[in-house]
Amino acid sequence: MQVIENLKVKEKVYIEKLNNGLTVMIIPKEGIKKKYIIWGTHYGSNDSKFIVPGENEVTEVPKGVAHFLEHKMFEQENGRNSLDVLSSLGVNANAFTTNTHTAYLYEATDNFYEALDEFMDYVQHPYFTDENVEKEKGIIGQEIMMYDDYPEWKVYLNALEAMYHNHPVKLDITGTIETISHIDKDILYKCYNTFYNPSNMCLVVCGDFEPKEILKEIENRLIEKKPEGEIKRIYENEDESIVKPRVESKMEVSIPLFTIGIKCIPPKQKEKVKTHIAIEILLNMIAGESSKLYQDLYKSGVILNMPSFEYEFTDDYAYILVSGASRNPDEFLEKFNQEIENYIKNGINEEDFERTKKMIYGEYVKEYNNVSDIARMFLNDFMKGVNSFDYIEEISTIDIEYAKQVLIDNFTTEKQVFSVVKSN
């Protein structure tokens, strides 16, 4: 078992790659009552075109299958719903689908191992019939319509659609009512058998565990499966340019919502963590709570609270999002871009830079206080091909020169989009 220790946060992660290809990560937290487990497969809404290991033909499935599959996994052949079984044991269970992965999880104070029986059973035993698939279409269809009515979702999705020509990241994770109408049990089984192979999965546990003991408990509940070869994922060629610089929608909102999107070039493997940290520092310096821009716009009533920041990256796409509510979104955009120009032209203030860096380091350290934050972080970073400890280690290596280069490379107005949702 590989052990990686980080002395700065006084944490260890134990990593074991089992014979079936499953990666297990164990982060012990002695004396903590809560236990958290998350089991993820590297399969998300982006993966609708692929070549199954051992096959030559391309398989293309309707958009929304990964999310549909996540919904269906809880229903068992014995008529029980695993989510209900887990809830009856007093554990807090859930699941989610992203663009890149699907995850099943629960948090427990008591009955952890009883819940583990059910948890590892349902993830390994799908049960799809014509009838239960058809029934689910109605449930997911309602969910799709509900999201269509959310202004926050609309402003976000519009930004992605304005950035990306062909890449499926621009599409709704749930699919559409039209695309899910083509899903049947055979499609679900094919995607399950392709992507839910242990060699395409990672299981993370965090809590008061002895690593070898919990590893044995996990191994005892695994059904025998052989590791598969690499799944070839196929995406359309994506131009570096944006689709359009601005998109505006009208919905019922009391104050206009906005999202600034910046289409970036995906960072190289060695630069993933450093680029991410530098972008976090820059965004907080430009428009974070202690920034001059935020203070001025808050006092004048242009913005009501601090905007949220997101930097998302994979091997084949990356983007920055700045989202918020503003009485005058265009003024915020103008001032935001002026601040970027100012940083490029006049340089980055060293005092502000160091203060922001310390603040972000503090946020990273705080994430290690909570078992759910730790486990989700390690799974999410694993799916991106990085180790979570790297953020703690790399932040000290980032200086002003590096940050300025990241600013010049990524914060370009030619690749910027502006999505706004205003009142009807």
The total domain count for the chain is 2
Say if pTM beats, i.e. exceeds, 0.85: yes
Check the CA dihedral 303-305-311-317 and report its sign.
Answer: negative
In a domain, 317, yes or no: yes
Among 233, 266, 294, residue at a domain's last position: 233
In a domain, 220, yes or no: yes
Q: What is the pLDDT of residue 333?
A: 96
In a domain, 204, yes or no: yes
Report d(CA 254, CA 259) in Å as an integer: 16
Residues 154 and 131 occupy one common structural domain: yes
Residues 133 and 259 occupy one common structural domain: no
Residues 335 and 211 occupy one common structural domain: no
Q: Which residue has the higher pLDDT, 145 or 45?
A: 45
Q: What is the pLDDT of residue 113?
A: 96
Burial of residue 268 (number of CB atoms within 10 Å: 0-12, 13-18, 19+) = exposed
In a domain, 240, yes or no: no
Residues 358 and 223 occupy one common structural domain: no
Assess whether pLDDT exceeds 90 at residue 144.
no
CA 289 to chain centre: 24
Among 207, 233, 259, residue at a domain's last position: 233
Assess whether pLDDT exceeds 90 at residue 396.
yes
Residues 256 and 210 occupy one common structural domain: no
Q: What is the pLDDT of residue 71?
A: 92
Among 174, 206, 233, residue at a domain's last position: 233
pLDDT tens-digit readout, 78-135: 888 999 999 999 999 999 999 999 999 999 999 999 999 999 999 999 999 998 899 9
Containing structural domain, residue 161: 2-233
Residues 22 and 119 occupy one common structural domain: yes
144: left (phi over 0), alpha (psi -120 to 50) or beta: alpha
Q: What is the pLDDT of residue 148?
A: 81
Count other Cβ atoms within 10 Å, centred on residue 4: 14
Q: What is the pLDDT of residue 193?
A: 95
Residues 254 and 316 occupy one common structural domain: yes
Q: What is the pLDDT of residue 50?
A: 96
Residues 9 and 52 occupy one common structural domain: yes
Assess whether pLDDT exceeds 90 at residue 271.
yes
Q: Which of 5, 55, 70, 228 is catalytic?
A: 70
Mean pLDDT of 222-250: 93
Q: What is the pLDDT of residue 237?
A: 87
Assess whether pLDDT exceeds 90 at residue 341.
yes
Q: Under a CB-based contact definition with an 8 Å cutoff, are residues 234 and 51 in contact?
A: yes
In a domain, 238, yes or no: no
Closest by Cα among 284, 252, 264, 256 to 361: 284
CATH number of residue 149's parent domain: 3.30.830.10
In a domain, 417, yes or no: yes
Report the percent of the chain where pLDDT is more than 90.
90
Q: Is 70 a catalytic residue?
A: yes
Residues 400 and 299 occupy one common structural domain: yes
Phi, psi of 149 (to 5 degrees): -90, -5
Mean pLDDT of 47-62: 94
pLDDT band at 420 (very low <50, low <70, confident <90, very high): very high
Encode 233-245: b = buried (16+ Cβ within 10 Å), e = exposed: bebeebeeebbee
Q: What is the pLDDT of residue 120?
A: 96
In sequence order, which residues have a C-beta less than 8 Å from that of residue 116 and are 6 or more positions away? 37, 217, 218, 221
pLDDT band at 377 (very low <50, low <70, confident <90, very high): very high
Residues 24 and 145 occupy one common structural domain: yes
Assess whether pLDDT exceeds 90 at residue 149.
no
Assess whether pLDDT exceeds 90 at residue 39.
yes
Assess whether pLDDT exceeds 90 at residue 285.
yes
Residues 260 and 227 occupy one common structural domain: no
In a domain, 128, yes or no: yes
What is the average pLDDT score of the chain?
A: 94
Report d(CA 220, CA 236) in Å as an integer: 41
In a domain, 239, yes or no: no
Residues 143 and 121 occupy one common structural domain: yes
pLDDT tens-digit readout, 402-418: 999 999 999 999 999 99
Mean pLDDT of 230-244: 93
pLDDT tens-digit readout, 346-375: 999 999 999 999 999 999 999 999 999 999
Q: What is the pLDDT of residue 214?
A: 97
